[in-house]
Amino acid sequence: MMFRTVKLGVTISSIGGYVLYKYYQPPKFTYEEVKKHNKEGDVWVIHKDNVYDVSKFIENHPGGKDKIMLAAGKSVDPYWNLYQQHNKAQVQDILKPMKIGKILNYTPKTEGDLYMKDPIRNPNLKFHSYKPCNAETPVDLIGDNPITPSDLWYIRNHHPVPDINKDKFTLSISGYGINKNLTVEDLKKFKETSLITTIQCGGNRRDGYNKVDKTSGTPWNVGAISTAKWTGVLLSDIVKFNKNVKHVQFESTDTLKASIPVDKAMKGEVLIAYKMNNEEIPRDHGFPLRAIVPGYVGVRNVKWLNKVILSDKEADGPWQRSISYKVLPKEVKDAGKIDSSKIPTMQEMPIQSVITNIDKEDGKYILNGYAWTGSGDEISKVEISNDNGKTWVLSELNKDLNKNQKHWAWTIWKSKYNISNNPCFICRAFDINNKSQPSVVADKWNLRGLNNNTWHKKCYEECYEE
């Protein structure tokens, strides 16, 4: 009905009805009204204080129908903050004819949406979610980039990204007679140390378990892992540990809490980092300070670190004490039925290897992948099977990243096969102590989908250029 009024207004003004044109008021809709138009075939969205009917447009949305449906009945602005490609005149031209009115009592979505201030991200990441952001690194780039470029590092956030003013920021270190507050500049006065470490989320390869039985959590494929050079100060260089200290707790501006055993804190090359790949740590990865705990599960590498607490206890909270990071026995299908306080939380990561991509080049299959173990031990070999695990051959290893340090960074590997071979491959790695990966996924299955380090199988898939 109101739509017609608009059309009529335009027609009359064109034959001289200037008065109507001048006094024409576009229809106003409440947020509640817009919210009702959130189903396929009937989709309204809000941009700034305008309301658009995009029902007919959604199939043509360059980012896919699903993405636009996320904003159905709501404001697109928080999403456009992530996808900056919308900030151009062309987009406004597309929108214009779809405008149906204005929003009544417009309130810009800044406070209401805490994710509005999240940083702009590289669209080549493989996104699982946006609020909070969970995204995998594009693993097919690893062969050419053993050190992951910071903007392509996987992102695993539990909350909105804190917006921190470095000049006002301090790190507090407390417990057992210690009580210091250090600015980033204060930290920089200590001896600077750099380490190249791989960080892997406890849920990396969770999707592999889901084929056995459902698990809870983001269904990560093989890209919840990345490697960077971190620069900062060793925790053991700035804190003297009293013998009663059993755990070192980390807390962050976004309220995450985690802890590590004091032994690791003293001897495990734990870093308080202020640089990632030679630059300030990007906001998504912990600006301005991050705990780097080489070889330990992702969540102990606390971003936006603002407190270090020496304690006789583990950190409180879900990330340490409850089941989030507990590898439950495979028989447990209902976490409510067990006493999880008896099960230790994950810390050091087991040996892992993965085939990241298989390409066809000059009549050969070229396999690339990574291998790594949280103990910091050297990867001695990566074996590939082309006959479903009966026989194995060695792949070629590139250990350059660990030349001057313990093996905290992954070893990249490569293998070549004639095209006449079966297109399916399995990989497994060994460390210098001959520790290797388990073969059967069903044996390692656990309710929270953690620590999947079973033999990794991948087949070559033709991809067609459009």
Ligand X SMILES: Nc1nc2c(c(=O)[nH]1)N[C@H]1C(S)=C(S)[C@@H](COP(=O)(O)O)O[C@H]1N2
**Long-range contacts at 210-213 (CB < 8 A, ≥ 24 apart):** 210/449, 211/441, 212/441, 212/442, 212/445, 213/333, 213/445
Q: Is 130 in the site for ligand X (CB under 6 A)?
A: no
448 binds, options ligand X, Mo ion, none, Cβ within 5 to 8 A by partner type: none
> Which among 222, 227, 198, 225 is positioned nearest to 209, based on CA atoms?
222
Task: Assess whether 61 carries a catalytic annotation.
Answer: yes
Q: Which helix H or strand E contains 369, and what residues bound it?
A: strand 364-372
The single residue of 37, 47, 86, 456 carrying the catalytic annotation is: 86
Is the CB of residue 344 less than 8 Å from the CB of residue 261? no
Q: Which stretch binds Mo ion (CB under 5 A): 62-70, 124-132, 178-186, 296-304?
A: 296-304
459 is catalytic: no
Q: Which of 45, 58, 201, 379 binds Mo ion (CB under 5 A)?
A: 201
Residue whose CB is less far from ligand X, 115 or 304:
304
Residue pair 351/437 in contact (Cβ under 8 Å)? The answer is yes
Q: Is residue 156 a contact residue for Mo ion (CB under 5 A)?
A: yes
Please say which residue, 37 or 283, places its beta carbon nearer to Mo ion.
283
Sorted by sequence, the CB contacts under 8 Å of residue 69 that are 6+ apart come out as 40, 43, 58
156-175: which residues touch ligand X (CB under 6 A)? Answer: 156-159
205 is catalytic: no
Residue among 277, 301, 356, 436 that touches ligand X (CB under 6 A): 301
Q: What's the token pair of residue 82?
A: 């992530």
37 is catalytic: no
**Of 37, 115, 121, 201, which one is the catalytic site residue?**
201
Quick check: 304 and 164 in contact, CB under 8 A?
Answer: yes
Cβ atoms within 10 Å, residue 220: 26
Site for ligand X (CB under 6 A): which residue of 201, 358, 409, 427? Answer: 201
Catalytic residue check, 47 = no
List, in sequence order, every residue forming a beta bridge with 199; answer none if it has no partner. Answer: 226
- For position 252 contacting ligand X by CB under 6 A, the verdict is yes
Residue 199 CB, nearest approach to Mo ion (Å): 9
Binding mask 254-293 for ligand X (x = CB under 6 A): x-x---------------------------xx--------
| Length of the chain measured in residues | 466
Q: Does 345 participate in binding ligand X (rule CB under 6 A)?
A: no
Nearest to 448 by CA among 376, 345, 371: 345
Half-sphere exposure of 99 (CA within 13 A, CB side): 19
Binding site for Mo ion (CB under 5 A): 156, 201, 298-299
Binding site for ligand X (CB under 6 A): 153-159, 199, 201, 252, 254, 256, 284-285, 298-299, 301-304
Report the catalytic residues: 61, 86, 156, 201, 325
